[in-house]
Amino acid sequence: MPVPDPKGSLLKKRLASLPLLAALAFAGPAVAQTPVLESDRSCYGPGQEVGLTGIGFTPGAPVAVSVDGRQLGSTQANPVGEFDISLSAPSISAKQRRYAFSATEEDNPAVTASASFLVSSLAVKITPRGRTNPGVMRRIVARGFTSGRVLWAHIKRGKRKARNVKIGRLKGACHTINVKRRLFPSNATPGVYKVQFDTKRRYSKKTRPNTTFSWLIFRTLRASSASAPTATAAAVVRDWTPLG
């Protein structure tokens, strides 16, 4: 008759209990989540809506929101410790400016998180300027068109239908571009043209944001040859003025 082995039975019981002990160890006390504050974009244009989301805060806690160290107001974390706020990006005079936001629990300042993003001014620069043939290639440098991925120029004279010129794909967080394009044919009809830059394929004066210029193309007279005094007409771009 086999003799019971008390030590062996005890060892088997201990080994059998190891998975349970391991599971209990991994399911130990919950570790507090590190608070996080993040924006829905890394760069915004003036007036564009900025979305900020906070997670990992104390459920129901009041949270103060500040920008560059100046408190804007407060919000309250929901039952799972999250919140969403929105505000409009400001207009700036510089090319770009970085803003630093922070969210801090009012009852426990140790619980805080921060985020930063860029605001880019809206601008288009075109060269050469002055008296030039309408058909010359022009360098177009633009920034801040964060509402789309492609920059377009809509060229319109009077009540005629606009001609839509694709400038190119915008790059980077603040949607910039630096390319050479021909905006007018060499034989462009003299007159006042409206040129609107935006990110829509088709022209609409209601499209926002946009940058619009007024262009004047006029005729100038020049001698056709050294011996012939007859004059021929040629279109020349005088200059352009931003309309806003």
Q: Do domains 36-120 and 123-242 have the same CATH topology?
A: yes
How would residue 31 be classed by pLDDT, with cut points 50, 70 and 90? Answer: very low
Give the model's pLDDT for residue 5.
52
At position 23, the amino acid (one-letter code) is A
Cα Rg of the chain (Å, integer): 32
Q: What is the mean pLDDT of residues 10-35?
A: 46
CA distance 67 to 35: 17
Superfamily for 36-120?
Answer: Macroglobulin (MG2) domain (2.60.40.1930)
Contact status, residue 152 vs residue 214, Cβ threshold 8 Å: no
Q: What is the DSSP letter of 158?
A: T
How would residue 233 be classed by pLDDT, with cut points 50, 70 and 90? Answer: very low
How would residue 32 be classed by pLDDT, with cut points 50, 70 and 90? Answer: low
pTM for the predicted model, two decimal places: 0.68
User: Mind listing the pLDDT tens digit for each residue in 176-205?
Assistant: 999 999 999 888 888 888 999 999 999 998
Q: Which CATH number fits domain 123-242: 1.10.1760, 2.20.25, 2.60.40, 2.40.160?
A: 2.60.40
User: Mind listing the pLDDT tens digit for each residue in 121-152?
Assistant: 999 999 887 677 888 899 999 999 988 899 99
Distance from the Cα of residue 43 to its chain's centroid: 4
Q: What is the mean pLDDT of residues 5-17?
A: 44
Cα–Cα separations (whole angstroms), residue 159 to 156, 203, 230: 8, 13, 34
3-class secondary structure, 13: helix
Q: Which residue has the higher pLDDT, 98 or 5?
A: 98
Contact status, residue 67 vs residue 47, Cβ threshold 8 Å: no
**Residue-range domain boundaries for the chain:** 36-120, 123-242
Give the model's pLDDT for residue 3.
46
According to DSSP, the residues that pair with 193 across neighbouring strands are: 157, 215
